[in-house]
Structure 1
Amino acid sequence: MFDPNEVAQLKEKKEHWKTNKLDKVTQRFPERRASFATDSDISVDAVYTPDDLGSFDYNEQLGLPGEYPYTRGVQPNMYRGRLWTMRQYAGFGTAEETNKRFRYLLEQGQTGLSCAFDLPTQIGYDSDSDLAQGEIGKVGVAIDTLADMEILFDQIPMDKVSTSMTINAPAAVLLAMYIAVAEKQGISADKLNGTIQNDILKEYIARGTYIFPPEPSMRLITDIFAYCAEQVPNWNTISISGYHIREAGSTAAQEIAFTLADGIAYVQAAINAGLDVDKFAPRLSFFFNAHLNFFEEIAKFRAARRIWSKIMKERFGAKNPKSWMLRFHTQTAGSTLTAQQPNVNIMRVAYQALMAVLGGTQSLHTNSRDEALALPSEESVLIALRTQQVIGYEIGAADVVDPLGGSYFVEHLTDELEKKAMAYIDKIDSIGGAPNAIEFMQREIQASAYKYQQEIESEDRVVIGVNKFKMQEEPPKDLLRVDPALGEAQKAKLKQIKEQRDQARVQAALERVRATAQSNDNLMPVIIDAVKEYASLGEICGVLRDVYGEYRQQIIF
């Protein structure tokens, strides 16, 4: 792309500038640090020019938007045609409470729903389980049976609203409930649009809401792939998540590598199960974190798209260009929010959201200012939504596709992140793939998290309000707290459902789930039948626990 002779001359000129200008200035006015680097330990120079890009090949490394290798975005016109889907992650207490929040957000201009489930739901227990006590409705909505899902989506047009559900181990059950509720609304499954997270490998690696061992968990995932390819064609069957890997303490390069390594494992598992890669790959989606290093995060999204396109085209031989595209949702980084001076979180979130947009996200969740203290209040979640709307409608950031494309610094970071991520992927391949490399990835994340925290404690990394610019503050007011009485109401509702349903039909449906789990048949149809009989989440997961057993986490230090 650049003339070699001119690049050589430029390099010589830059060295002369450094010696005669930059070094003299820094002697008089020393720089803030002895050296500068990104979170992934990529050195950052004072200035970048074409000589930092080496033998840069525009077509191979950039191309045009909507074309392989998709560095510049998956759509030719990106946000000039339609803005990203604006989702606010929401869910607390009972289905009734969360339905009110959903409808409030839609009234305020949110364009997609994102559902948070409580911890018992995430690990397959009903609200009446002894293991659920104290956690009902605390970090998300409690969903026990189809009756709860019916309330959750009451007065919400499921054929017009895209819904994302952060659910993993019991994803098949929650998807079955969603399909059944739509059917009751007169909406066929082929009209549904949305995503289930359904990413169990990152649960083993970083998050912890797993139930079953890896092999049956992968079987459940590929069953969903196969079923949705035929019956729910517009549904994203998995959201391969780097978000929680980053929240656990990984670097940007590790987030790319470990997420895509998990993606490789899912694609290979589906192919091993006999699925055609071009049949399911276009419905794969990803979920990334928008952290604090502005330019590295933008480069991270670009590098991830480029790497995935090569993996799908060259490694798996996918023929459909849609199979090569890495489409992703972004959430701003919850781990960067502080309980101290929580209004500063508004600025952190705004910049993180801008990173996601400049990096080409397909949908976005902006965290609320008070999430380091409690579940977000209605006022705080509205500010978070308005943040997205300002970026989309007011400041011009959405008017140009990949506006930082061609920046010497951003292209250099994109290349460096690709190299670092690919080195990790090669290492994971040598171990035998992501399912065999769980402990390796955990150790790498732990080392990065420890280093990050050391930098905060030594004040090498500034966190406003925590280790710099501290101030005395009044105790926070108007925080959202889940009333413990909601848990008792949820248990009473579940008890009533269990008493009113046809027990014989429920038991017959559960036995069909058991028999299918013991066979090689697809589990989705029998799980859908079971939820329609109002078999509970805990009952269905209990049958699968009996057949598959439970995963026990290895302790890694």
Structure 2
Amino acid sequence: MSCNDKLQDCFKKWEEEKLEKALSRFGERKPQFLSGSNEEVRRLYTPLDVEDINYDDLGFPGQYPFTRGVQPTMYRGKFWTMRMYAGFATAEESNKRYKYLIDQGSMGLSVAFDLPTQMGYDSDDSISEGEVGKVGVAIDSLEDMEILFDGIPLDKVSTSMTINAPASVLLAMYIAVAQKQGVGMEKLRGTIQNDILKEYVARGTYIFPTKPSMRLITNIFEYCSENVPKWNTISISGYHIREAGSTAIQEVAFTLSNGIAYVNAAIDAGLNVDDFAPRLSFFFNAHNDLFEEVGKYRAARRLWAKIMKERFGAKKEKSLMLKFHTQTGGSTLTAQQPENNIVRVAIQTLAAVMGGTQSLHTNSKDEALALPTEDSVRTALRTQQIVAHESGVADTIDPLAGSYYVESLTNKIEKEAMKLIEKIDALGGSPNAIDKGYMQQEIMESAYRYQKEIENDERVIVGMNKFKVEEEAPKDLLRVDPSVGKRKCEKLKELKDRRDNELVKKNLEDLKKACKSDENLMPYILDAVNSYATLGEICGVMREEFGEYKQSVMI
């Protein structure tokens, strides 16, 4: 009798002699247990659930297929980058918050931009009224970016910028600030999100149609590979896909499908895969289903390594590595009993760390109500520091490897995500699937199912639909001064009065001509930025030449 046959007999005996008696006496909490992806969670996992695993599919850390991590020592060498997402009101106020975070031990900065900036509008545009500085910092020109990073040496910090449609302009501003500090482009470290496909799918801060948007992205790939070699040129984002309501499996599948589309676009533009692939990075969510999240990260790493090797023929080891930033799940935070959010964030932090993230932002307890206060941001940062220094989970690599449950989850997520990727391939790839509304529809259906489960009390959200208490109205929330918009408009007028407007006009004309050609637009954008052309003026030229994207109507 084989070992598996013997185990199968023992399992049946346990069910008959122990389990059935327990079930007849006590039953179980509910008839069916489901993961966050609505997949069945079995009562017990054994070697029978992972009997088809070959250790080659796991490998060792820093070795293909990178299931167990992208570095040989992982956190035994150094911790993940503790990067806190921040930005509000004006550049001056956000600069103070960045310096506070650095003083508190943050290892990297993550810039949140306000909605007009994300959409490529200046603060004095009529469409910006009421939104200036509300959900992030307002950046209209190089002058604002200079203030934002005043006193922060850009050769010493790693900076992430959550910006997409106008990513080329904000990156140019960052490069220009570094040059004014005397910091060469080759020394800059950080990431620009630059992921327009997920904007069409899940978030909505798009400007240009698909084709010119992909051109701008590949222009950044090319420019940075030659001039800013340490910069991660894109953060292919599953975070917002998950925030929109996708499952963990959909998050992996749709994110990697978008990644495939970016690689294809770069290759079609004449770039060699091994020249740009090492600087691709990813951005994932961390939700409360701890084991599913760990399996998700492990499956995504393995799946991407196989895609890069088998589909694209990448040769460099770094081209095969899925390196990712994680942010704890904003949509999991509740306005009710906000102190509970500290616990949720701690669980999500554990999931990200045990799943092998390269950097992490932890949300603050009050973010379901407002932008976070300094006190709540400090608690969120301390959560990472406690996990790093006190929990022990960072002392060994991939600590949940070998768990029958986690290995089974990793295999299942990889398998189911690959099925979705193949379906997207059959639709003509990610951009076509988006234009046809496929991803959007899948996410909406998952979001609807999840919400109905909460409303029907099938899914418990502590403090919201169960274990409720009477609460006072929240106090001491951060409020953005409503006069910010007026002050920003005044500053813009002063800037336009004193800059060299003839030079601005010339640089914008040069950019307009370049838009009509096949040239890389980054040098032209950098010239415009350096002459203090505004974000709105630069994006306005590209709007005029490229047009604007119109979302497909879903029926």
TM-score range, shorter chain: over 0.9
In structure 1, what is the Cα distance between the partners aligned to 2:278 and 2:148?
A: 29
In structure 2, what is the Cα distance between the partners aligned to 1:11 and 1:547?
A: 67
In structure 1, what is the Cα distance between the partners aligned to 2:260 and 2:20?
A: 46
| Matching residue of 2:26 | 29
| Matching residue of 1:51 | 48
Q: Which secondary structure does the structure 2 equivalent of 1:289 belong to?
A: strand
Q: Give the Å deviation of 1:242.
A: 0.1
Q: Structure 1, residues 192-236: CA drift from partner, whole Å, max 9, x if none?
A: 000000000000000000000000000000000000000000000
| Matching residue of 1:476 | 474
Q: Give the Å deviation of 1:42.
A: 2.2
State whether structure 2 residue 281 is matched by structure 1 residue 285: yes
Q: Structure 1, residues 63-121: CA drift from partner, whole Å, max 9, x if none?
A: 10000000000001100000000011000000000000000000000000000000000
State whether structure 2 residue 3 is matched by structure 1 residue 11: no
Q: Which secondary structure does the structure 1 equivalent of 2:110 belong to?
A: strand
In structure 1, what is the Cα distance between the partners aligned to 2:20 and 2:438?
A: 42
| Matching residue of 1:68 | 64
| Matching residue of 2:242 | 246
Q: Give the Å deviation of 1:16.
A: 1.5
- 1:448 aligned to 436, 442, 446, which one? 446
- 2:366 aligned to 360, 366, 370, which one? 370
Q: Which runs of 4+ in 1 moved over 6 A?
A: none
| Matching residue of 2:424 | 428
Equivalent residues of 1:42, 1:416 under 8 A apart: no
Amino acid at match of 2:122: D
Superposed, 1:488-499 pairs within 5 Å as: 488-499=486-497
Equivalent residues of 1:89, 1:115 under 8 A apart: yes
| Matching residue of 1:176 | 172
In structure 1, what is the Cα distance between the partners aligned to 2:160 and 2:395?
A: 26
In structure 1, what is the Cα distance between the partners aligned to 2:306 and 2:445?
A: 29
Q: Structure 1-normalised TM-score?
A: 0.99
In structure 2, what is the Cα distance between the partners aligned to 1:210 and 1:121?
A: 11
In structure 2, what is the Cα distance between the partners aligned to 1:23 and 1:106?
A: 57
Q: Which secondary structure does the structure 2 equivalent of 1:437 belong to?
A: helix
Q: Give the Å deviation of 1:7.
A: 1.5
In structure 1, what is the Cα distance between the partners aligned to 2:5 and 2:480?
A: 64
State whether structure 2 residue 504 is matched by structure 1 residue 511: no
In structure 2, what is the Cα distance between the partners aligned to 1:22 and 1:412?
A: 22
State whether structure 2 residue 183 is matched by structure 1 residue 187: yes
Equivalent residues of 1:92, 1:139 under 8 A apart: yes
| Matching residue of 2:345 | 349
In structure 2, what is the Cα distance between the partners aligned to 1:11 and 1:510?
A: 72
Q: Give the Å deviation of 1:47.
A: 1.4
Q: Give the Å deviation of 1:26.
A: 1.6
| Matching residue of 1:303 | 299
Q: Which secondary structure does the structure 2 equivalent of 1:451 belong to?
A: helix
Q: Give the Å deviation of 1:464.
A: 0.7
Q: Give the Å deviation of 1:300.
A: 0.1
| Matching residue of 1:262 | 258
| Matching residue of 2:521 | 523
- 2:39 aligned to 38, 42, 46, which one? 42
Q: Give the Å deviation of 1:394.
A: 1.1
Q: Which secondary structure does the structure 2 equivalent of 1:399 belong to?
A: coil
Amino acid at match of 1:386: R
Q: Give the Å deviation of 1:54.
A: 3.0
Superposed, 1:124-163 pairs within 5 Å as: 124-163=120-159
Amino acid at match of 1:92: F
- 1:113 aligned to 109, 116, 136, which one? 109
Q: Which secondary structure does the structure 2 equivalent of 1:484 belong to?
A: coil
In structure 2, what is the Cα distance between the partners aligned to 1:99 and 1:278?
A: 37
Q: Structure 1, residues 485-523: CA drift from partner, whole Å, max 9, x if none?
A: 111111111111111100100000001110111100000
Q: Give the Å deviation of 1:41.
A: 2.5
In structure 2, what is the Cα distance between the partners aligned to 1:12 and 1:284?
A: 48
Amino acid at match of 1:531: V
Amino acid at match of 2:480: V
Q: Structure 1, residues 313-345: CA drift from partner, whole Å, max 9, x if none?
A: 000000000000000000000000000000000
In structure 1, what is the Cα distance between the partners aligned to 2:541 and 2:104?
A: 41
Gaps of 5+ in 2: none
Q: Give the Å deviation of 1:253.
A: 0.2
- 1:223 aligned to 213, 219, 240, which one? 219
State whether structure 2 residue 389 is matched by structure 1 residue 412: no
In structure 2, what is the Cα distance between the partners aligned to 1:55 and 1:355?
A: 25
In structure 2, what is the Cα distance between the partners aligned to 1:23 and 1:423?
A: 36
How many pairs align? 553
In structure 2, what is the Cα distance between the partners aligned to 1:8 and 1:169?
A: 57
Q: Give the Å deviation of 1:555.
A: 2.5
Amino acid at match of 2:465: N
The Cα RMSD (Å) is 0.7
Equivalent residues of 1:339, 1:370 under 8 A apart: yes
| Matching residue of 2:460 | 462
| Matching residue of 2:530 | 532
Amino acid at match of 2:336: Q
Q: Which secondary structure does the structure 2 equivalent of 1:173 belong to?
A: helix
Equivalent residues of 1:8, 1:51 under 8 A apart: no
Percent of paired sites with the same residue: 65
Q: Structure 1, residues 242-268: CA drift from partner, whole Å, max 9, x if none?
A: 000000000000000000000000000
Equivalent residues of 1:171, 1:197 under 8 A apart: yes
